[in-house]
Structure 1
Amino acid sequence: MPFVTALRSSSVVWGAFPLFALTAFLVVEWSRFAEPGFGTAVAEATAFPVFVVAAVCSACAAWEGGRLRRGGVWFSAPVRGRLRILVNTLSPVLALGSTSFAIAFVFASSTLGAFPAARDLLPLASAAVVTVSYALLGFCVGCATPRLIGAPLMLIGVYVWMTVPASSDIMWIRHLSGMQITSSSVVDSVEVTAFTAPVVLSVSLALAFFPLMSGAERSLREAGTAVCCGVIGSLVAWSLVADWGPGAPTTPRAGATVCAESNPTICLPGEYSGEVPRLHRIAGDVLADLEAAGFDRPHTLALVSAESPVSPGTWRFAPHPEHDDEFLRATIAWSAIPDSPDCFAHDDGYVGSDEDIRVWLLLLTEDGGTPGATLPEDASTRRVLPVLELSREEQMEWFDATVGALGDCAPTPEPPGRSA
């Protein structure tokens, strides 16, 4: 009954349905670019509308705080304890946030066709804590300002804080707003710190503004303690992300890979396991062509994180269930190219490229017909076609020289042609 009574007079009834509709829209739009059948993507899609949910909840909390301030309930000597008043007042606001995330979860899970495991829920847990923290912050601001000032201030302030930093040139500030700007993949997970840093900041800000809740009753010492908590928490949050770039760091996804024993063994994330028969069929043809060209047959094709080391005889490849057979042939052919450093990250003027050997591998593994018939007639194809006229040993020497140059970030050799 206290909840129903509080709900009837709460400001949340004004913004509930627009918020629910906007939440559903944002989740559906985000899910268009997410991995279907991936539980972590469901949790990340559910947490994506946090910038709207937190802004509306903080504004409603500020309005409720201002209402208590205007009625003299909060700063008088009420019969009920302040904690009970706070819980009763904010329960509709927290229910608004919880319902919004529940709606987001329903739309995300139905759109992506998956259900997250417990270990996948960290993005949603972070979003929930951030929302509660900014709701408390909004209530504190509402206790110190008129409703017509506090509520719009929190609505606009929280929204701007959580959206604008995502495009800031100051890299570390991007990771503190509470919006996740880096998504997990089927092979990589976003580091836990990316979710804890905004939680630390939002909680510390709420603590820093706690003195506003009690007005003049707070002593200077208590106010100083609260501000120190806010400053220290903010510094801790900053230190967690101070050296990050535009994206949050990732780690290889643990326990996600399943392997199907055959020749070759194919290792894929569990979400892609249904593609194993198709990949076995295509890999048999492609690897036979590569063996005929002089390559040693790999014993494993693996879709794993770029940060995960692979053993000799294992080739990395990057298939996807939405790829057609022709693109999968290319993906398997390109897996013959060993790992190499990102030379452009260290030298913007690097002139090397793996384009020629990629075209050459496609020519070697074409599915019948005249060499180059299925490739676009561009400069790369015309430049590489003469390589096929060389002996197998000469072709492999050029491939090895190109791979070596890529590994050393040196200029790559031009494709050789038949001597006149």
Structure 2
Amino acid sequence: MRWRTALRVSIAPRIGLLLIPWLLAYRGKMTDWITDGYWESVTAQSTFLLGYTAPAVAACGAWEAVRVRQSQVLQRAPARSATAVALSALVPTFVLGGLSVLLAVALFAPQAMGYPGGPSPAVIGLALLVVVAHTAVGYAVGLTLPGILAVPTAMVGSFVWMAYPSAMEVFWVRQLNGHNLTECCALDEVVAPRSLLAPALVAVGMVAAAWIWTVRGRFSRPALLLAPAVLAAAVVAGAVVAEPLGYRAAVPRSTALRTCGDTVPRICLWPEQRRAAADITAWATQARQRLAAAGLRTPGSISVTSVSPTQDQVRSLLALSLVPNDIPPCAADTQWPGYAAVGPVSAWLSLTAGADPRAVAGRYPREEVRIAQQVLAAPRKAQLSWFLRNARTFGRCDQSPDLNPAHYQAAPAARRAVR
């Protein structure tokens, strides 16, 4: 069949007129989820649009199957096999699906343009495989159900399979449809191999089951037995692969890709951050000097997780490295009084490191910022005493913080009484 004829009789170009604008409308709705400058994140987030592409190609596959069935070409003595007939009818749908996958990547590509690397071939390959799988299953549905039911059944079934697992509390099920890669990736992460393999196995099983159903005869005994068995085996295999992941779709990125300097603090940067290396190093060094002048000892190294961090982010990152990320174990069984000190201490550390006061004021409640500013106005020794006294409450539950700056400027006897 000539391309012009195929495009004229196929439903895919008409569906494309609806699908492409729909995908374009989502361009601005996913940008906040993408790690700017990181191609792995751009490609992973593009798979969100599979939730619309897959139902569209499934509907097209069903329509083409209904058209083939109505032509009765498979009931006659065909010169071509059932597989050849199906491929010939589905070529425009495959083209629509492939273009939609590439368009999804292109929509988000400007957020990583000019940075090292490129789109992830593995993620794009998985997306194309999912498109083929939904097209094949849609075609099998079209050969089976009456024409009036085939298209809506294929489209709705595809949409449910792509959308519903994300609402399930059995988290690993989300990995099976290829739609969960949107959980990836921060700058220090890459797509987990298991999160690619699990949906790939299911997609291959879908294609194989649809092919068996098509070539063996829709309701023949071999098809009735073999197609469900193949699909079930693929789902089980995918589940075995996906189960250790839970809902996560990312694994840590190899630290061998980082470049570490010899400054203090030692700063390790990913390839995407190298153009900002001079600024990051200067800001971190200045923040360390300010914290050291306040009597604080900072970590020997830091890792920045933004491709193009601001001065405020770098200074705050170094300052907040002095605040534990986790609550103390005792908080699981009893009240943790030190929680009340986390905000004021964090605000004071950020301001001491030279972070923008306006940014700090927007990050913490007004009362916590007020306390931090009062501490900042106190003598340096009083500030350090205030920090050391309240920082002790971060790792224990038997001591309450004392956030009043005036208590640390009192006479020695009064100060001892407070302690």
AA at the equivalent of 2:348 = W
> Separation in 2 of the partners of 1:7 and 1:373?
59
> Separation in 1 of the partners of 2:104 and 2:401?
53
> Conserved in 1, the CA contact under 8 Å of 2:47 and 2:127?
yes
Offset at residue 16 of structure 1 (A): 1.3
> Separation in 1 of the partners of 2:201 and 2:328?
34
The structure 2 residue matched to 1:337, chosen from 314, 323, 344, is 323
AA at the equivalent of 1:273 = R
User: SS of 1:301's equivalent?
Assistant: strand
User: What does 1:14-413 align with in structure 2 at a 5 Å threshold?
Assistant: 14-114=14-114, 117=117, 120-180=120-180, 181-214=182-215, 216=217, 219-221=220-222, 223-242=224-243, 244-296=245-297, 298-303=299-304, 318=305, 321=308, 323=310, 325-337=311-323, 340=326, 352-353=338-339, 354-366=342-354, 378-383=366-371, 385=374, 390=381, 394-395=385-386, 397-398=388-389, 401-405=392-396, 410=397, 413=400
Per-residue CA deviations over 1:190-219 (Å, capped at 9, x if unaligned) read: 312122222222332343344432464775
> Separation in 2 of the partners of 1:213 and 1:282?
64
> Separation in 2 of the partners of 1:373 and 1:183?
31
> Separation in 2 of the partners of 1:135 and 1:88?
13
> Separation in 2 of the partners of 1:100 and 1:368?
43
User: SS of 2:201's equivalent?
Assistant: helix
Which shifted more, 86-95 or 340-349?
A: 340-349
> Conserved in 1, the CA contact under 8 Å of 2:33 and 2:45?
no
Change (3 A) 1:87 1:254: farther
Change (3 A) 1:5 1:393: closer
AA at the equivalent of 1:154 = A
> Conserved in 2, the CA contact under 8 Å of 1:211 and 1:223?
no
Identity %: 21
Offset at residue 6 of structure 1 (A): 2.1
> Separation in 1 of the partners of 2:356 and 2:203?
61
After superposition, the CA RMSD in angstroms is 3.5
> Separation in 2 of the partners of 1:377 and 1:224?
64
Per-residue CA deviations over 1:4-51 (Å, capped at 9, x if unaligned) read: 332221111211122122222224432343222211123124333112
Offset at residue 386 of structure 1 (A): 5.2
> Separation in 1 of the partners of 2:367 and 2:207?
60
User: SS of 1:266's equivalent?
Assistant: strand
Per-residue CA deviations over 1:377-409 (Å, capped at 9, x if unaligned) read: 83324555459555577456436624543xxxx
> Conserved in 2, the CA contact under 8 Å of 1:182 and 1:190?
no
Query: Greater helix percent: which structure?
Result: 2
Offset at residue 98 of structure 1 (A): 1.2
User: SS of 2:107's equivalent?
Assistant: helix
> Conserved in 2, the CA contact under 8 Å of 1:186 and 1:253?
no
> Conserved in 1, the CA contact under 8 Å of 2:298 and 2:322?
no
Change (3 A) 1:116 1:103: farther
> Conserved in 2, the CA contact under 8 Å of 1:187 and 1:256?
no
User: SS of 1:196's equivalent?
Assistant: helix
AA at the equivalent of 2:402 = P
Which shifted more, 344-353 or 205-214?
A: 344-353
Q: Please, what TM-score do these two structures have when normalized by structure 2?
A: 0.81
> Separation in 2 of the partners of 1:351 and 1:4?
74
Change (3 A) 1:194 1:351: farther
> Separation in 2 of the partners of 1:43 and 1:348?
44
